[in-house]
Amino acid sequence: MSFSGDVKEELLRIQPEKNCCMLAELSALTQCCASLRLAGGGKIRVVYETENSALAKRIFLLLKRRMEITPQLEFNRHKRLGGRRLSILTVPEADSRRLLIALRMIQESEAGPVFKGVPRAAMTRRCCRAAFIRASFLGGGSVTAPEQEYRLEFISSAARSDTLIKMLEKSGIEGRVAHRRDGEIVYVRRGDDVVSCLALMGAHRALLDMENTRINRDARNRANRARNCDEANLKKQLSAGESQAQAIVAYSLAHSLSGLPAELQEIGRLRMLHPEASLEELGQMLQNPIGKSGANHRMRKLMEIIRE
Ligand SMILES: [Zn+2]
């Protein structure tokens, strides 16, 4: 199963207990998965459709427990879904209006009913915000596997994006909107925000997976950086040693080294033989070994004479 699938499976095991949270969850699921079928005479029916049968079961139970509504359940195999089964829950006419009013999704206006809004508690209480965001994810969310880039997104619409972004913001999570041909997406991209979002929704197992991967990856990156740094130093040392050796060879061909002070001749000859050696190593090769700074001093002196 995909990482998104794992997260959804984990989230479906969390049952909202409080009345306020059940309503917040129903609100999000109604926005994500339901459409309103308008009949004549102001009659409305709320119809939920989802390919996820576990989610259909959850919507069914929420309607029953929170609203005492028994929706009619049907299954449909859709050609456009490649033969996958679609669960369809239809709320009876008599209950649909009551449901929409409870969800604050219906407002009467002169031009007829206007559908918008969310239960007030969903905006103000943390428990309800968590329930709303969790249900939005269940209804139309996805998250990339932690090995890839961090990205968590919700299928949204022009009417819903603002609400979702405000709710994320109140939980300290930065959400952004992307416009697609077929609607809008609200997405969370920073690693910390994706982690906060998973925590808020209650996907703790997924969170652990993600943190582990992140820790491993960071450790790997640090090791790579350290190795690259060593390699760069090594290269620098090699090229410095090589250019010294070349300069000494050129000087000895033109002038011979025998006119130089004995300690400079010695280190010069060693350098020609060992262009790859560090100064510390060269110092140790001397007849009377000296440390790195001594070797450095001698080499500098030699180079000054050679370059004059
Ligand atoms: Zn609540």
pLDDT digits (tens, 9 = 90+) for 2-22: 889 999 999 999 988 899 999
**Cα dihedral value 168, 172, 173, 175, nearest 10:** 60
Q: How confident is the model at residue 200 (pLDDT cuts 50, 70, 90)?
A: very high
Ligand 1 centre from 17 Cα, in Å? 9
- How far is it, in rounded angstroms, from Cα 173 to Cα 201? 12
In this structure, what DSSP letter does residue 15 have?
Answer: P
Q: What is the pTM of this model?
A: 0.68
Ligand 1 centre from 171 Cα, in Å? 14
Ligand 1 centre from 27 Cα, in Å? 12
Ligand 1 centre from 5 Cα, in Å? 25
- DSSP element (H, E) containing 236: helix 204-255
> Which amino acid is located at 94 in the chain?
A
Q: How confident is the model at residue 28 (pLDDT cuts 50, 70, 90)?
A: very high
Ligand 1 centre from 91 Cα, in Å? 24
Q: What is the domain partition of the chain in residue ranges? A: 3-215, 230-307
Distance of CA 250 to the CA centre of its chain: 58
Q: How confident is the model at residue 64 (pLDDT cuts 50, 70, 90)?
A: very high
- The answer to whether 268 and 244 are in contact (CB under 8 A) is no
- How far is it, in rounded angstroms, from Cα 103 to Cα 180? 27
Ligand 1 centre from 94 Cα, in Å? 27
Instruction: Convert the pLDDT of each residue in 162-171 to its tens digit.
Output: 889 999 999 9
Average pLDDT over residues 108-112: 61
Ligand 1 centre from 263 Cα, in Å? 83
Nearest to 168 by CA among 196, 140, 207: 196
**In terms of pLDDT, which residue wins out, 124 or 74?**
74
Ligand 1 centre from 68 Cα, in Å? 19
Ligand 1 centre from 250 Cα, in Å? 83
> In the beta sheet, which residues pair with residue 129?
none
Ligand 1 centre from 31 Cα, in Å? 18
Ligand 1 centre from 127 Cα, in Å? 4
Is the pLDDT at 112 greater than 80? The verdict is: no
Q: How confident is the model at residue 109 (pLDDT cuts 50, 70, 90)?
A: low
Ligand 1 centre from 21 Cα, in Å? 4
- The answer to whether 87 and 56 are in contact (CB under 8 A) is yes
> In the beta sheet, which residues pair with residue 106?
115
- How far is it, in rounded angstroms, from Cα 258 to Cα 286? 17
- The answer to whether 34 and 48 are in contact (CB under 8 A) is yes
Ligand 1 centre from 62 Cα, in Å? 14
Whole-number pLDDT of residue 168: 94
Average pLDDT over residues 40-61: 90
Ligand 1 centre from 129 Cα, in Å? 7
Ligand 1 centre from 273 Cα, in Å? 78
Ligand 1 centre from 281 Cα, in Å? 70
- Lowest-pLDDT range of 64-78, 110-124, 139-153, 197-211: 110-124
Ligand 1 centre from 284 Cα, in Å? 74
Architecture of domain 3-215: Roll (3.10)
Instruction: Convert the pLDDT of each residue in 206-254 to its tens digit.
Output: 888 877 777 777 778 878 888 887 777 777 766 788 888 888 877 777 7
- How far is it, in rounded angstroms, from Cα 119 to Cα 264? 86
Task: Please name the residues in contact with 25: beta carbons below 8 A apart, sequence gap of 6 or more.
Answer: 16, 62, 131, 132, 134, 135
Task: Please name the residues in contact with 141: beta carbons below 8 A apart, sequence gap of 6 or more.
Answer: 4, 8, 152, 153, 154, 155
**In terms of pLDDT, which residue wins out, 107 or 293?**
293
Residue 299 tokens, joined: 């080499």
- How far is it, in rounded angstroms, from Cα 165 to Cα 188? 10
Whole-number pLDDT of residue 111: 59
Ligand 1 centre from 161 Cα, in Å? 21
- Lowest-pLDDT range of 21-35, 51-65, 190-204, 244-258: 244-258
Average pLDDT over residues 169-188: 92
Ligand 1 centre from 20 Cα, in Å? 4
